[in-house]
Amino acid sequence: MRHVAIVGSGPAGYYTAETLQKAEDIAVDVIDRLPVPYGLIRTGVAPDHQSIKAVSRRYEGVALADNVRFVGHVSVGTDVGIDELTQLYDAVVLATGAPNDRPLGIPGADLPGVIGSAAFVGWYNGHPDFADLDPPLDSPGVAVIGNGNVALDVARILAKTPAEFAGSDIVAHARDLLATSNIRHIHILGRRGPHQIAMTPKELGELGHLERASPRVDPADLPDEGDDALLEPGMRKSVTHLRQFAANPVAKPVTIDFDFFAMPVAIEGDARAQRVVVERTQLDADLRSHGTGETYAIEAGLVVSCIGYQTPPIPGVPYEHGRGRFANDEGRILPGLYCVGWARRGPSGTIGTNKPDGARIAEMVLEDIGRGGGKAGRPGLDALLAGRGIAPVTFRDWRKIEAAEVAAALEGNPREKFVRVEAMIEAIGR
């Protein structure tokens, strides 16, 4: 029997398990520090993007296979060491994603009211780590830093009315606080221009259909229309949306301003964020941004920085600090130790990008481990955890949590999620 442990039960983890599970004579353990599976699908993908979240049904099919097991509520690095896992399994695949925010690194970034997107997205999506975030929504101004899809998610969630969350799985604490929001002016800050955005057309187009909020683009920021022909088709569509926003300004109570060529250089305020000081930029021949020395201020009681993520390092595992991911050669870290998904590539691409990535890493693992090395595998992990008094959450337990969430939903949001680990464990009956 060959034994493989996958650390992380998000898309990269389950796509890897999907290919491994089809091989003969193999047992796959998918380990997660939370008692609930699916990683970013549950706590990262926007709550109003239910069609994307539906992919978890495919992962469920993998999780229910005879040779795949969910080992929840077990923290690698705390409950069990990486070195212990590599001794127990023929291969260990790190599918831990990139849950940490890249630091903003400007004066005032540590003021209350300045929040990274991992925390903010985790808060409205029910990640237990951020259940107590309580972001300040009392000021009219908000600055969202970054020109990627996460910035769009954050701006859209902040702009929506309670009615627009119908059918979503936004958690009650976020829905209720957002309903009391005083936000009127949302600024999305991009340090480069419209041709350098990292926003996809479908997501950008959604901003044009919000009930009480309208996107605004300064026509002066747009390059000559003829230059759009040089863009790849998806990007061209995105820029077409920006052109439409510039051409048809709509007056709605909440504005979403695209501030291009705008680099935040400081956040100021008296004991909390009150304004962002922004330096205007220009691009060099290599399309890098440089400050011009000209600054202006944006009033903002909430600043959400959406400038990308990092994989948290694990002691003893080689790490590439500049890129915020494990040091790896096409997925190989050390003998018997691999990485996949954002932990391998860095935080780029969509959920679907992890499918070929997971399949490729799984094939590599199968080739490397051959018939296996007679390792202890599952029974070994079970004995080790039992010796430490740790009872993992199984997939059957997760079903109980899910059923309890559905029961709780009958009284409120039809897609209720537990936001506290204690509530999840209680639902199992422990």
Q: Is 148 in the site for ligand NAP (CB under 6 A)?
A: yes
Q: Which is nearer to ligand NAP, 75 or 350 (CB)?
A: 350
Shortest distance, position 374 Cβ to ligand NAP, whole Å: 40
Among 150, 158, 366, 381, binds ligand NAP (CB under 6 A): 150
Shortest distance, position 121 Cβ to ligand NAP, whole Å: 8
Q: Is 349 in the site for ligand NAP (CB under 6 A)?
A: yes
Q: Is 350 in the site for ligand NAP (CB under 6 A)?
A: yes
CB atoms within 10 A of CB 407: 11
Footprint of ligand NAP on 328-347 (CB under 6 A): 347
Among 146, 193, 194, 301, binds ligand NAP (CB under 6 A): 146
Q: How many residues bind ligand NAP (CB under 6 A)?
A: 23
Q: Which is nearer to ligand NAP, 115 or 307 (CB)?
A: 307
> How deeply is 77 buried, as exposed, middle or buried, from its count of CB atoms within 10 A (0-12, 13-18, 19+)?
middle
One character per residue 189-208, x = contact with ligand NAP (rule: CB under 6 A): -xxx---x-x-x--x-----
* Backbone φ, ψ for residue 221 (5° rounding): -80, -15
Footprint of ligand NAP on 276-315 (CB under 6 A): 306-309
User: DSSP string spanning 54-69?
Assistant: TTHHHHHHHHTSTTEE
Inter-residue contact 289 to 281 (CB < 8 Å): yes
Q: Residue type at 268?
A: E
Shortest distance, position 135 Cβ to ligand NAP, whole Å: 18
Stretch that binds ligand NAP, among 145-153, 328-336, 398-406, 414-422 (CB under 6 A): 145-153
- Taking CB atoms within 8 Å and a gap of at least 24, the contacts of 269-272 are 269/108, 269/111, 269/113, 271/111, 271/112, 272/111, 272/112, 272/113, 272/136, 272/301
Inter-residue contact 267 to 105 (CB < 8 Å): no
C-alpha–C-alpha distance, residues 5 and 13, integer Å? 10
- Cβ neighbours of residue 386 closer than 8 Å, sequence gap 6 or more: none
- Cβ neighbours of residue 381 closer than 8 Å, sequence gap 6 or more: 5, 29, 71, 80, 85, 88, 89
How many residues are recorded in the chain?
Answer: 430
One character per residue 371-410, x = contact with ligand NAP (rule: CB under 6 A): ----------------------------------------
Q: Which is nearer to ligand NAP, 73 or 102 (CB)?
A: 102
Shortest distance, position 348 Cβ to ligand NAP, whole Å: 4
Which pair of tokens denotes residue 350? Answer: 């969509």
Inter-residue contact 270 to 283 (CB < 8 Å): no
Q: Is 182 in the site for ligand NAP (CB under 6 A)?
A: no
Q: Is 39 in the site for ligand NAP (CB under 6 A)?
A: no
Q: Which is nearer to ligand NAP, 12 or 393 (CB)?
A: 12
Contact residues for ligand NAP, defined by CB under 6 A: 145-151, 153, 190-192, 196, 198, 200, 203, 306-309, 347-350
